[in-house]
């Protein structure tokens, strides 16, 4: 009886392997496992080889050996920084590791990518739109660690202009909100700010000199920093 159950289990794994698309290889793997007790790991190997291509196949196999983690299954498994179920590095997830694009920098605190744009100066609305057009958001600074990384590593302090960050109270005076939609908890205001000077300041900048924040006139033209979330994170 036990033997028959094992056979049926083996057959169903074999059928699943074929359906997943790896043809002869899937069948052979399942046949081996039907006579032993390690059907599970055989199945993992099949998933790794069928859901990824080329170099990623190797990563999938390694994940299987580690206890079921499969790169390319769209699930964030232990040991994976991201898993977007594809092998397209343009979305900043490459082989289940975050890989920021050239000219971007990764903060290990959240594995997001950051870039500042200094070729031109622009008002807040245009900075907001430019980040979105690149698949990102005008930067949110929601912890001391993120603030320190952006000010210390991303900002070129030889360029003497403030940077727009994605924080505004344009909808309700005094109620600041991140463009990213994250809760507004951490702050890094300069002393005396925000002051809504002349009742005309609804957009927030980071001072290039100190890294502290100031609400300013949204029509002023500054540099800006974008933040990107890699796919499958
Ligand atoms: Ca995975
Ligand atoms: Ca952020
Ligand atoms: Ca204001
Ligand atoms: Ca101000």
Quote the pLDDT of residue 67.
56
Segments making up each domain of the chain, as ranges: 2-85, 105-228
pLDDT in tens, 41-80: 333 333 333 333 333 444 444 444 445 789 999 999 999 9
Nearest Cα residue to 203 out of 223, 177, 225, 227: 177
Quote the pLDDT of residue 8.
39
Confidence class for position 142, pLDDT limits 50, 70, 90: very high
Cβ-count burial of 72 within 10 angstroms (0-12 exposed, 13-18 middle, 19+ buried)? Answer: buried
123 Cα to the center of ligand 2, angstroms: 20
Give 78's contacts (C-beta < 8 A, 6+ positions apart): 66, 69
pLDDT at 92 over 80: yes
Tell me the ligand closest to 63's alpha carbon.
Answer: 1
CATH architecture for residues 105-228: Roll (3.10)
pLDDT at 15 over 60: no
Give me the residues near ligand 2 (ion), CB cutoff below 5 Å.
Answer: 140, 227
């Amino acid at each position: 009886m036990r033997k028959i159950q094992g056979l049926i289990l083996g057959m169903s794994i074999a059928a699943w392997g074929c359906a997943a698309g790896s043809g002869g290889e899937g069948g052979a793997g399942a046949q081996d496992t039907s006579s032993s007790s390690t059907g599970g790991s055989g199945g993992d190997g099949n998933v790794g080889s069928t859901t990824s291509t080329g170099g990623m196949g190797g990563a999938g196999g390694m994940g299987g050996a580690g206890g079921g983690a499969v790169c390319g299954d769209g699930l964030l498994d232990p040991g994976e920084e991201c898993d977007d179920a594809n092998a397209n590095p343009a979305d900043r997830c490459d082989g289940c590791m975050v890989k920021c694009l050239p000219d971007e920098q990764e903060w290990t605190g959240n594995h997001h990518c950051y870039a500042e744009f200094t070729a031109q100066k622009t008002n807040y609305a245009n900075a907001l739109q430019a980040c979105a057009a690149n698949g990102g958001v005008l930067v949110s600074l929601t912890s001391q660690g993120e603030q320190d990384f952006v000010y210390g590593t991303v900002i070129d302090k030889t360029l003497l202009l403030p940077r727009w960050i994605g924080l505004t109270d344009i909808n309700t005076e005094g109620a600041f909100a991140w463009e990213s939609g994250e809760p507004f908890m951490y702050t890094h205001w300069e002393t005396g700010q925000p002051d809504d000077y002349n009742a005309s300041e609804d957009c927030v900048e980071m001072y290039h000199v100190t890294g502290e924040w100031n609400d300013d006139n949204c029509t002023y033209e500054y540099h800006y920093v974008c933040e990107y979330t890699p796919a499958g994170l």
